[in-house]
Amino acid sequence: MNIQLNGKIQPIEDSKSLSDLLAKINPSNISIAVAVNGEIIPKDDYPKTILNDMDIIEVVRPVGGG
């Protein structure tokens, strides 16, 4: 199946959870925020959020500044 990750189509295995995907793309466990299909997902819900074909996932990292 395919998902759209930060604007790019990416193939992933079926029935992957959001936490499975994040473990691959964020192995250093840097603080991030994630939205699936426009809905922000709380960190506690990552393991139970199952990704579906053509879900749109946006992953952002906070940037400090002033």
Over residues 5-33, the pLDDT tens digits come to: 999 999 998 889 999 999 988 878 788 99
Is 65 among the domain residues? Answer: no
Q: Are 61 and 22 within 8 A, CB to CB?
A: no
Is 54 among the domain residues? Answer: yes
- Predicted pLDDT at 46: 95
The total of structural domains in the chain comes to 1
Residue 66, pLDDT > 70, answer no
Is 16 among the domain residues? Answer: yes
Separation CA 57–CA 51 (nearest Å): 9
Separation CA 43–CA 34 (nearest Å): 8
For 41-45, what is the mean pLDDT?
96
Is 38 among the domain residues? Answer: yes
Is 66 among the domain residues? Answer: no
Domain that holds residue 32: 2-60
* C-alpha triplet 20, 24, 28: angle, nearest 5°: 110
* CATH assignment at residue 11: 3.10.20.30
- Predicted pLDDT at 63: 79
What size, in residues, is the chain? 66
